[in-house]
Homo-oligomer: A and B are copies of this chain.
Amino acid sequence: MIQHTVVLKLKYPKGSPEEKEFLSAVAELAMIPGVLNFQSLRQIGKKNDFDYCLSMEFENMTAYEAYNAHPDHTRFVTTYWAKYVEKFLELDYAPI
């Protein structure tokens, strides 16, 4: 099992229409085949300036790569990610 996470900061302030649009678009990623345990989380730590985290699990690397290449994902990246996200960090986890 692989947990894929992306922690991010939006270009738009909390409570803005753009934030709402972005989070609605994010929620649809959960429907892409192979995505398990999808979560949108608020980053609340004071020691960094990220606002959100998207977290999802994949059974294996094949499922992860299929998600990355899926047209709903690539469309999300060009339509929303590239326009709404100021900075981000991808962190992927596997059991030790």
Contacts and interface: CB of A to CB of B under 8 A. Distances in A.
A44 B89 contact: no
Interface of A (DSSP majority class): strand
A92 B44 contact: yes
Contacts of A63: none
27 contacts: A2-B44, A3-B41, A4-B45, A7-B91, A23-B96, A41-B93, A41-B94, A41-B96, A42-B93, A42-B94, A42-B95, A42-B96, A43-B91, A43-B92, A43-B93, A44-B92, A44-B93, A44-B94, A45-B92, A47-B89, A47-B90, A48-B89, A48-B90, A48-B91, A50-B91, A53-B93, A89-B89
Given A2-B44, A48-B91, 5 more contacts: A23-B96, A42-B93, A45-B90, A45-B91, A45-B92
